[in-house]
Chains A and B, each alone.
Chain A
């Protein structure tokens, strides 16, 4: 009899506890962003800027709008120091969500960590966002359902640069007979564009020489002597970190004009140009997002977040620089994907799989960009099941010795030309891993229902 009472008591207590726990979870309307950030180590400048901008944008959405349709945004950080295994550990630690709030997407901002969590993300059904970087062939959403190299993959990057050079030479047909040297970082990231540049050189008939700079890139004398001998019309700099200012200084030494050097997406920050001093004056680089604070969304962040003492940057002078604005852009794209997914699945915290749908159906046109206060900061973007990149446009900016000035409109990569190469690469991956291609026609009909 006693034992019967006891078991009854236990059952009731358990039921009561469960009952108490359940509504609490339902009330907890939050969407969680796991942040594999890096604030110490050699790449802290990029990490603090990017994650500062990302967090400040989420703060803005919470403060100004009360979250996304009433769903508050929440996040927590885990330090990776840009190291792969720390990034993996952070991924595993954070992927489950926070206090019942489900994780929406991961944004490691590191090629190495992105590679290492690519398969995990697919298995866990959690989107992996690699804005402006990442594995080029993950653009093919049929093979990589959960990876999103948003805005600009490495192939688009060089294609847009070649298109800009064509524009400067008054027409792509004028590229014939021109000479272009590509100076690239001796790492997987640097090597990634070698085949596609060769293809472009054949197509447009310009002479191409690709020169490797061994990591980390603080010795470049012999490379620049070669460049002096070759006398190219343009030098494309695909650098990283210390390699960039060193390249600019060496260019000055051999008398190569900075205004004929075009830096890529990882050679485009204030931290790349400023240390070269005078040598950087006139240096051109691409960007997907200008620096500056004039955009309404940045003004709002200043008003609601920074002035309220909630800004994430330790150094307020970095507000609006290249890294910070990339973080804001990244925030906008993530939150918009959540918004799109909410329109389909309901105004509640969403699973990673649902947010993935949001990314694949993300569409940012001029009207929406204006509403967001991000005209000129974010490019028009349309993603789909098969296309996880979406934009493929860049603007060019020139360093005047103190700051970047935008000197071109949006310039589009030749994405139709690149697509077959991307598909060939993704299909090789699919074959190696035994992945069946997703049928995007089917996905679209599901989406319409």
Chain B
């Protein structure tokens, strides 16, 4: 632990936010408790209340993309390595899970997800290797290479899709311990369970030695190296764990959400979507991934539902869609000007203000 203690002064103010030494520590439990309550609610009551639409079109994609955002946040937000290859890792996860289920008889579903994560992690380490020599924006190039290479491989070699004529894969029936997860609510619970477990694990990771090393590397890797942090290991472990999360997210995307995917479904646009989730929600914050994904997934849907309700017939359908895009875009710019550290920071600040009211924060 000595190197860690030495590392502390080198870390920026960001680090203090995540360390246990923050000034409003007592208050910080409240959001955690709220989150736990929300999770309990989601598990126990939501399946009875929600509709198919809510689960399979709104909540499941939100949770899966949150998990993906979380994965990228480990790499970009905590370890400071930029990546535009998130979709490639998801793609590997999806195809690995499919092939694992297909080729290993009797493999439990969660075992398949684990293999998906491991396969993606292996590619993650490979992609991360150049980051040992090059820095900053240049690392993007190697992740970009993965982004173009992976779908090409899956399209080119039929084995990965079990020689399906169109090169797509379809999820097998989802079964856990004899229960068949057939309804949207079941699939939602599966996604929720995996997401919550992995979020808790991520919480442990970023507060562990590994997480602190990542942050040291992020804030100044030369300094980190000087004080004895194994920079190469820190970077590669960040690539591996991040890719693991993205791989599982990809498997969930294919199995629990879309059902049938083609490699080009995981294109550069998806990688950017995940990057925007992280930037919008808040770099280096676990909750930020959820808030960012909510903004990217839920907000356009809400806007489109509202527009359907109030504006249908007034505006042509094509124009309606364009108007929605303008509103979403303007809001993104507005939010980022108001709070460059992301939506989660904005929420935290508002929360803090409420706590100390009527005093000024």
Contacts and interface: CB of A to CB of B under 8 A. Distances in A.
Interface of A: 37, 39-40, 44, 48, 76-79, 81, 84-85, 88-89, 91-93, 96, 111-112, 115-116, 118-120, 123, 135-137, 186-189, 191-192, 195, 215, 314, 425, 428-429, 432-434
Contact of A89 (B57, B259, B260, B261): B57
Contacts of B260: 115-116, 118-119
B167 A188 contact: yes
Interface string B312-325: 10001110111001
Contacts of B321: 39-40, 79, 81
B165 A112 contact: no
Interface in B273-309: 301, 304-305, 308
Nearest to A196: B165
Interface in B252-276: 257-262, 264-265
Given A186-B155, A189-B166, A85 B61 contact: yes
Q: Which residue, B166, B322, B325, has most C-beta atoms of chain A within 10 A?
A: B166
B170 A119 contact: yes
Contacts of B265: 84, 112
Given A119-B259, A188-B262, A79 B172 contact: no
Interface string B151-190: 0000100000010011110101100000000100000000
B318 A44 contact: yes
B57 A92 contact: yes
Contacts of B305: 93
A433 B322 contact: no
A66 to B, nearest CB: 22
A116 B259 contact: yes
B29 to A, nearest CB: 36
Given A187-B264, A432-B102, A92 B318 contact: no
B52 A79 contact: no
Q: Which 4 A-B pairs have the closest CB atoms?
A: A39-B318, A92-B57, A188-B166, A115-B260
Interface of B: 52-53, 56-58, 61, 102, 155, 162, 165-168, 170, 172-173, 182, 257-262, 264-265, 301, 304-305, 308, 312, 316-318, 320-322, 325
A429 B170 contact: yes
Q: Is the interface of B mostly helix, strand, loop or mixed?
A: helix
A195 B166 CA distance: 11
29 contacts: A37-B317, A39-B317, A40-B322, A76-B308, A79-B317, A89-B57, A89-B61, A92-B53, A92-B56, A92-B57, A112-B265, A115-B261, A115-B262, A116-B260, A116-B261, A118-B260, A120-B56, A136-B166, A187-B262, A187-B264, A188-B155, A188-B166, A188-B168, A188-B262, A191-B155, A191-B166, A195-B165, A428-B162, A432-B170
Nearest to B102: A432
B259 A137 contact: no
Contact of A191 (B53, B61, B165, B318): B165
Contacts of A428: 162
B194 to A, nearest CB: 19
Contacts of A85: 61, 257-258
A112 B316 CA distance: 25
Nearest to A93: B53
A192 B165 CA distance: 5
B173 A433 contact: yes
Contacts of A195: 165
Contacts of B170: 118-119, 429, 432-433
B320 A79 contact: yes
A269 B297 CA distance: 34
Nearest to A137: B165
Nearest to A77: B317
Q: Which residue, B53, B312, B318, has most C-beta atoms of chain A within 10 A?
A: B318
B155 A314 contact: no
Contacts of A187: 155, 262, 264
Nearest to B54: A92
Contact of A432 (B53, B56, B162, B264): B162
Contacts of B102: 432
A76 B172 contact: no
A117 B301 CA distance: 18
Given A120-B56, A432-B162, 5 more contacts: A76-B308, A79-B320, A92-B57, A96-B53, A432-B172
Given A39-B317, A81-B321, A118-B260, A76 B52 contact: no
Nearest to A191: B167
Q: Which residue, B162, B262, B305, B317, has most C-beta atoms of chain A within 10 A?
A: B317
A136 to B, nearest CB: 6
Given A40-B322, A92-B56, A93-B53, A84 B166 contact: no
A433 B258 contact: no
Contacts of A191: 155, 165-167
A189 B167 CA distance: 9
B80 to A, nearest CB: 30
Contacts of A89: 57-58, 61, 301
A115 B304 CA distance: 24
B69 to A, nearest CB: 15
Contact of A84 (B162, B258, B320): B258
Contacts of B57: 88-89, 91-93
Contact of A116 (B182, B258, B304, B318): B258
A188 B321 CA distance: 28
